Structure 1
């Protein structure tokens, strides 16, 4: 990529200390920043820094490529530095659950260790995305595959054939390579949802599965800063597909989408998520508003927001274009099947990778995403009876819309309350 003004040049320790997200290598210099545009020009991005070296052979076939003085490799920092040997607490934080070992074993390297912490340490050093450990103190370092994709866990790791699975800090390159589309004419898909319904998380899943960045009508700088680089392009530039839109205004639905993916979520959870987004003091995409603030805002904002929830579905569901409707709760239960279904639905052939199953196996190792708020239960006193009545009415109205649309997949029983999912 072509560099812009480099901004701050400092050590990796400084990068972590200042919570920077982007690190770039230019020659022997390390460029660090919280924003991508401080270290590189995103519009000149390419998969490889392959500028022709000066003094190369005249014959194109024999020319050598190298970085060149304008070239910079940019890395996105996903985690935090571990400043001590892997502890039991750290290993616990990386634990993904218990899974049944496939009959032909896990593809990867076998080692004998004394503890799960040792297993995680060894596998991280080897650069393996997964560390698995069983009751016989056997450790396998490898990665998910078609017959071990981390979608079906078991209740206990003490069961015969079960293993503890840990996610190391090593990246699995199979779903790490994400690009922008070349400018052109595409059949593009609108990713539509009421705010707080998992749109941003869905974008993460789609980017990892297709290998291409998603877009948005909002150009959200905060999301760009945590890795959603498609926010840097306007929709009209056609560098992205799978375009996020919440339709909160009275504007008409734009003409460009050829198809729609619609995410529907429990209105209790969706509206609470929106209130948290608007009222959390720090790190707005993952934090919670204080309970006192949340209770006040629920009473204050609920009548308007539940009406917006209805209006969103009324506006989107009757578009006369191909449409895939998914319930957020089903996506949480089985994200891999859900994202496979979405990719197969997309009308743009460029978004159908030949290695989809490998990418999905890779994705199964880390489905959480970049900006997904942790689950939380809410007591019934957050929701007065008039709010519950308004939800019951709204849910029935949207159910009727789905029936008229011919959707046979039954809506989850959202009227049961906020802790359904």
Structure 2
């Protein structure tokens, strides 16, 4: 009897030890921990969310300008120029405070026209670096206003050029020249989807592509593909002023040559010291980093439509280069 009691006690102790070991092992290798590591590995951009570079434009961007930014000499009365507060990172100076730009004017007003997601913010950054002159916009993006573009909503000859995504007679009327920045429609549409969901340098979550069983993303692609075509062809065909077509891919692949061509089109003298500095600081904080999804958001039919529209539009635009 006593022997049986000791056997029962021993078995009970072994069972208790086994259960405790299983619980301890489960805690150290919980599914939550594995899921977190797997998610970071699949979507590498998630690891950047704690990096100040990827907080969107709610915090002050740490931009190193090659020179203090300023306005151009202009015939526009001072009270007609939108005043902007200077950020410490921007070192903005007004026309009255500077002498080196006082004798220079750019003839007419130049538009920087593009479909959203084509890289206009990055090009504006490059031009501000290369010239030390502020660029304007027909919009007032408060995120950009606080982080490198204090002349947002300035649309007169005091700025180097003016950003716009609009087209049509009313949109063209203020401008005598235009730079049409064109990007591959697949990449431009994807960039615009990310911007609408995650800001200028953020990303759309993978779930956004699958919203309403993928219908939301499908409608977004179809709508924006039509807008991409209309934006580029309307400026190229119907704008009566002088126009220069710049392909985003050329800007990435041959930055020096493409940027020199843009400055020559603007009739702005190239300061070689500033230009060299721009090439060194080409990245800035306004280019969205690459990210890798574990699925292809574009269906076969989507890619077929995009390819067809790209061929048609690029064929027309190539003749204008």
Structure 1 SS opposite 2:172: coil
Q: Secondary structure at the match of 2:222?
A: helix
TM-score in terms of structure 2 length: 0.65
In the alignment, structure 1 residue 213 sits paired with structure 2 residue 226: no
Equivalent residue in structure 2 for 1:390, among 268, 290, 305: 305
Q: Which residue of 2 aligns with 1:366?
A: 281
Compute the displacement of 1:262 (Å): 1.1
Runs of at least 5 residues in structure 2 that lack an aligned partner in the other structure: 1-57, 63-81, 96-100
* Structure 2 CA distance for aligned equivalents of residues 293 and 252 of structure 1: 35
For 1:252-281, what per-residue CA distance to the aligned partner results, in whole angstroms no more than 9, with x for missing partners?
33322221111111111100110111112x
Offset at residue 300 of structure 1 (A): 2.9
2:117 aligns to what SS in structure 1? coil
Any idea what SS the aligned residue of 1:374 has? coil
Provide the residue aligned with 1:287 in structure 2: 202
Do 1:178 and 1:208's aligned partners in 2 also have CA atoms closer than 8 Å? no
Aligned 1:79-158 pairs, distance under 5 A: none
Verify: 1:323 aligned to 2:240, yes or no: no
Query: Counterpart in 2 of 1:4?
Result: none
Alpha-carbon spacing, 1:364–1:384, altered in 2? closer, same or farther (3 Å): same
Instruction: Give the 5 Å matches for 1:39-58.
Output: 43=83
Q: CA deviation at 1:363?
A: 1.0
Q: Could you tell me how far apart the structure 1 residues matched to 2:315 and 2:180 are?
A: 16
- Please list, as runs of the form range in 1=range in 2, the aligned pairs for 1:5-404 lying within 5 A after superposition: 19-20=59-60, 43=83, 75-76=88-89, 186-231=107-152, 233-236=153-156, 238-247=157-166, 252-280=170-198, 284-295=199-210, 296=214, 297-318=216-237, 319-347=239-267, 351-353=268-270, 356-377=271-292, 381-402=296-317
CA distance in 1, matches of 2:84, 2:191: 36
Higher normalized helix content (fraction of residues): 2
CA distance, structure 2, for counterparts of residue 380 and residue 386 of structure 1: 16
Per-residue deviation, 1:216: 0.4
Once residues 163 and 251 of structure 2 are traced to their aligned partners in structure 1, the CA distance between those partners, rounded to angstroms, is 17
Q: Kindly state the Cα deviation for residue 19 of structure 1 after the two structures are TM-superposed.
A: 4.2
* 3-state DSSP of counterpart to 1:393: helix
> What is the CA-CA distance between 1:75 and the residue it aligns to?
1.3
- Call closer, same or farther: CA 1:261–1:337 in 2, change over 3 Å: same
TM-score (norm 1): 0.50
SS of aligned partner of 2:220: helix
**Any idea what SS the aligned residue of 1:382 has?**
coil
Structure (1 or 2) with the greater strand fraction: 1
CA distance in 2, matches of 1:399, 1:290: 31
Matched residue SS, 2:176: strand
How far apart are residue 358 of structure 1 and its match? 1.0
Q: Is the 8 A contact 2:176 2:241 kept in 1?
A: yes
Question: In structure 2, what is the Cα distance between the partners aligned to 1:343 and 1:199?
Answer: 15
**Aligned-partner Cα distance in 1 for 2:154–2:260:** 27
The number of equivalent residue pairs is 235
The structure, 1 or 2, with the larger RCO (C-alpha pairs under 8 Å, 6+ apart) is: 2
Hey, what's the Cα distance between the residues in 2 that align with 1:228 and 1:294?
31
The Cα of 1:326 is off from its aligned counterpart by 1.4
Give the Å deviation of 1:217.
0.4
1:339 and 1:363 map into 2 onto residues whose CA distance is 10
Residue 178 of structure 1, CA deviation: 7.0
Following TM superposition, by how much is the alpha carbon of 1:320 offset from its aligned partner in structure 2, in angstroms?
Answer: 2.6
Give ranges in structure 1 of 5+ residues lacking alignment.
1-17, 23-41, 46-72, 78-175, 409-421
